[in-house]
Amino acid sequence: MRQAAPVLLVNPGRRHPVVGGEVVGEVVGEAGPGVGPDESPAALHRRFPGYAPTRVVDAPGLAAELGLASLAVKDESERLGLPSFKILGASWAVYRLLVGRLGREPEWRDLDELRSELTPLGALTLVAATDGNHGRAVAHMARLLGYQARIFVPAGTAAARIDAIESEGAPVTVVDGTYDDAVRASAELAADDVLVVSDTSWEGYTEVPRTVIEGYATIFAEVDEQLATAPPDVVVVPMGVGALAAAVVRHYADHATVIVVEPLSAACGLHSAAAGFPVEVPGPHDSIMAGLNCGMVSIIAWPVVSAGVDVFVAVDDDAAEQAMRDLAQIGVVAGETGAAALAGLRAAVAAGTADVRGRNVLVLCTEGATDPLAYERIVGPHP
């Protein structure tokens, strides 16, 4: 594989401060309209079986190599029984969507009681497009709540990721095209009894992806406690359509540098920031960082991202592979997408574009080894 130089862009649209400003306040918050503190994302997630905060791994060796004061890795390789953070956004979005249809806040202590409370809604099917993790999370929620699911994936999706979705009881349709084509195919199925649960947005479809963004707040509530004595000065996060990036901006942009990382072949955020408005990056989007192979930013996330991200970094697949190996050395099993943030951090340090040396840095590792064959090829046997 030929190595390509990373591309970095210091965001010309960055505004300080962002959190509490009009744009961010309208787009994301700790909870949606009319939702009290007892119905926050974190409160919901704590009621799920097996909930526990994911770990933060200290990486002093990598920090020294990169000239950082500290480097902390938030390891989302296992979250609520799935190998990705995506269940946080999917679960909150599904819950708020169902509560909205129910017309009241249900009273429940466990999933059996929740299923009983939702009985008046009748039979429903949840539909989503995905490169793997979001769709599996939606299918998982459907199975937990007794609903059907149908998931659309782009051509070239790894067989292991399709198998994982099907293991949740959901049929998978492979779309002959990109992730964005899969999104369009899923949206066409919307009906009274078919609910589209997307983590990206488009004209006329914004409320569900808004709640997906809200759901990720649980990550940062945990990090605030875990890194209370040394909060991050820099936060590095992978970016696909921008939902997680928007959640990072919402939490950190008033007191930390925010860096987002994309594949060179699908750097829709970087190109949109350079243009000053959302632009579509045409396919093929063929990076091994499959969860980031998105050609168009989410219209609900983009105002937040464009106002709050400091630096956009685009890296090649070699950089992601090296980051996977680096993370394995500190005991973190990261998939290709999960390792992207560390790859982008290394590129930013090398370029000197972002002021990260001597600072406390938080890297979000967003997935585990969701394609075991690829992991074995790049890193070695899965531990």
Which domains are delineated in the chain? 7-84+213-378 (3.40.50.1100), 86-212 (3.40.50.1100)
Say how far residue 122 (Cα) sits from the centre of its chain. 30
pLDDT of residue 16: 57
- Cβ atoms of 259 and 344 within 8 Å: the answer is yes
Q: Which residue carries 């406390």 as its tokens?
A: 360
pLDDT (tens digit per residue) in 110-127: 999 999 999 999 999 999
| Spans in the chain with pLDDT lower than 50 | 1-2, 17-37
Q: What residues are paired with 174 via a beta bridge?
A: 153
Handedness of CA 199, 260, 12, 23 (dihedral sign): positive
3-state SS of the chain: helix, strand, coil percent to 5? 40, 15, 40
**Rounded CA gap, 99 and 376, in Å?**
42
List alpha helices for the chain, DSSP H: 22-27, 41-46, 60-66, 86-102, 111-117, 133-145, 159-166, 179-187, 207-215, 217-226, 243-252, 268-275, 302-308, 317-329, 340-351, 372-378
- Cβ atoms of 304 and 342 within 8 Å: the answer is no
pLDDT (tens digit per residue) in 142-169: 999 999 999 999 999 999 999 999 999 9
The predicted model scores a pTM of 0.93
Question: Cα-flanking dihedrals φ and ψ of residue 131, to 5°?
Answer: -95, 0
Q: List, in order, residues 6 or more apart from 92 with CB less than 8 Å away.
A: 41, 44, 45, 211, 212, 214, 215
Helix (H) or strand (E) holding 73: strand 70-75
pLDDT of residue 24: 34
